[in-house]
Amino acid sequence: MSLNRELVKEAMKGVRVSPQSPDVVAANQFAWAAACDTYASVKLRVGALDKPGFDRVAGEAHKALLALGKPLDSLIVEFIDDLGTVIHTTRFGGPVARSKNATPAAPQAAHAAAPVTPPSRPAQDAGHRPIGGVNADASGIQGVGRIIAVGAGKGGVGKSTIALNLAVGLARRGKSVGLMDGDIYGPSMPTMLGLGSLDPVIHEGLLQPFAVHGVKCMTIGKLVDPEKPLIWRGPMAHGAFKQLTEQTRWGELDYLIVDLPPGTGDVSLTLAQALKVAGAVVVCTPQKVAQDDAVRAAKMFQQLGIEVLGVVENMSSFVADDGKSYEIFGRGGAEQMAQRLGVPFLGAIPITMGLRVNSDTGNPTLNFTPTDAPGKRLHAALEAMIDQFEAQASLAAMRAGATRPTLTIS
Ligand code: ADP
């Protein structure tokens, strides 16, 4: 029998935050565990510790798991606060290669697994030209903080839906957010955003983004004939996408969320490379076949040196009008896949009729102001996903040296 959730929890009974304290399970500090094959992750709610303190407790957890005598290739120990926000992560073994052009490292043998410090972001290509020349920000686009790519192994899994709701949700939390529809094969944002007959405006040589639902948006769908199929060759697509992103007057943005075309073909690859992407979110559905594609998408980002901030499981269950859930595609597959890849799981978004209707009618804001039972479940799931996203994005920024934790004493 390989590792499972119960075995991991059992092992945690051997872990103590200090020699005098009860074990983390007895002390109610054990929050969550998951395991799949030789991969495990654990969440502990242990309060404020310094970095060596976190790593020491994580080391104990690692030792306790090894003592089970099961093969263990990767362990991720996440420390969370009372709100569930991840405040520290310690990894042992597992695929963490993020250097440019590197393939993900083969999992290390259990006995060799040691804490891994994720490498900092590689230097960017000389080819990334900051637009405007001066004062360009980390993204290479003046005023734009971090570019986040949302990708998927294949179409129809809800990549655009997740990108849009992530953008709207972040904006509702007071972040300044841009949304770039880079799905050049089937731009769906004009519909999902309800852009209707709005036309793009060019001012002083730059496109003005559409300001809707608290988000600044740009979509190639507004610049091409919606009735004509979009057939792009790699270099053409690359040029159009880069131009559209760089020649939009985004202004000051905390995040620019980019909805990439589905798949891991040439076009997705060049688009992901065209911008200084700070992190990627991979969307997949619970079925096994979808996961295989999503693994390829995650590996594509990793090979480009782009940190995968996490995986979102969309359509993880159907919530009916009476609030009952039906797991029509199964559940938990994406979480296990995230574990196999050694990347965070950002959450599970259910299927609701309301989400589909709000997307078709261009009213994403309604997903955040629910009135019925399925809507409330969806809203809670979206907020939980955005919590996890923000936590992982801040961690990634800290690892990249972009921000430092701040301590406020009052
Ligand atoms: P992709 O970008 O991966 O091609 P979309 O985001 O365009 O997929 O979603 C495809 C269709 O599925 C859209 O009509 C969308 O409204 C619907 N959809 C996606 N996710 C959900 C969900 N969780 N609940 C209900 N409908 C959904």
> Out of 25-39, 127-141, 194-208, 361-375, which region has the weakest mean confidence (pLDDT)?
127-141
CATH of the domain at 217: 3.40.50.300
Q: How far is the CA of 160 from the centre of ligand 1 (A)?
A: 7
Q: Is the Cα dihedral 148, 149, 152, 158 positive or negative?
A: positive
Q: Is the Cα dihedral 25, 27, 28, 32 positive or negative?
A: negative
Whether residues 135 and 103 fall in one domain: no
Domain annotation covers residue 159:
yes
| CA-proximal residue: ligand 1, atom 6 (nearest) | 158
Q: Which residues pair with 279 in a beta bridge?
A: 148
Whether residues 54 and 98 fall in one domain: yes
Residue of higher predicted confidence among 331 and 276: 276
Domain annotation covers residue 395:
yes
User: Which is the closest atom of ligand 1 to the Cα of 259?
Assistant: 2
Q: Which residues pair with 112 in a beta bridge?
A: none
Whether residues 45 and 104 fall in one domain: yes
Domain annotation covers residue 68:
yes
Sheet strands (E) in 165-307: 177-181, 201-203, 206-208, 210-212, 215-219, 253-259, 277-284
Mean pLDDT along residues 125-147 = 55
Domain annotation covers residue 126:
no
Domain annotation covers residue 122:
no
Q: How far is the CA of 122 from the centre of ligand 1 (A)?
A: 34
Domain annotation covers residue 409:
no
- Phi, psi angles (nearest 5°) of residue 149: -95, 135
pLDDT band at 339 (very low <50, low <70, confident <90, very high): confident
Whether residues 104 and 245 fall in one domain: no
Res 396 pLDDT > 50: yes
Res 130 pLDDT > 70: no
Reading the block at residue 240, the tokens are 């159009």
Single-letter amino acid code for the residue at 333: G
Whether residues 90 and 144 fall in one domain: no
Among residues 49, 77, 109, the one where a domain terminates is 109
Mean pLDDT along residues 139-158 = 89
Helix (H) or strand (E) holding 54: helix 51-66
CATH of the domain at 93: 3.30.300
Whether residues 91 and 187 fall in one domain: no
At 106 the pLDDT is: 32
Q: Are 383 and 172 in contact (CB under 8 A)?
A: no
> Out of 68-82, 139-153, 375-389, which region has the weakest mean confidence (pLDDT)?
68-82
pLDDT digits (tens, 9 = 90+) for 157-176: 999 999 999 999 999 989 99
Single-letter amino acid code for the residue at 312: V
Res 210 pLDDT > 50: yes
pLDDT digits (tens, 9 = 90+) for 9-63: 999 999 999 989 999 999 999 988 776 567 777 889 888 888 899 999 999 999 9
Q: Are 316 and 350 in contact (CB under 8 A)?
A: yes
Q: Which residues pair with 89 in a beta bridge?
A: 78
At 264 the pLDDT is: 78
Structural domains of the chain, count: 2
Domain carrying residue 67: 5-109
User: Which residue's structure tokens are 């841009």?
Assistant: 178
Res 212 pLDDT > 80: yes
Whether residues 204 and 234 fall in one domain: yes
Q: How far is the CA of 157 from the centre of ligand 1 (A)?
A: 6
- The radius of gyration computed from the CA coordinates of the chain, to the nearest angstrom, equals 21
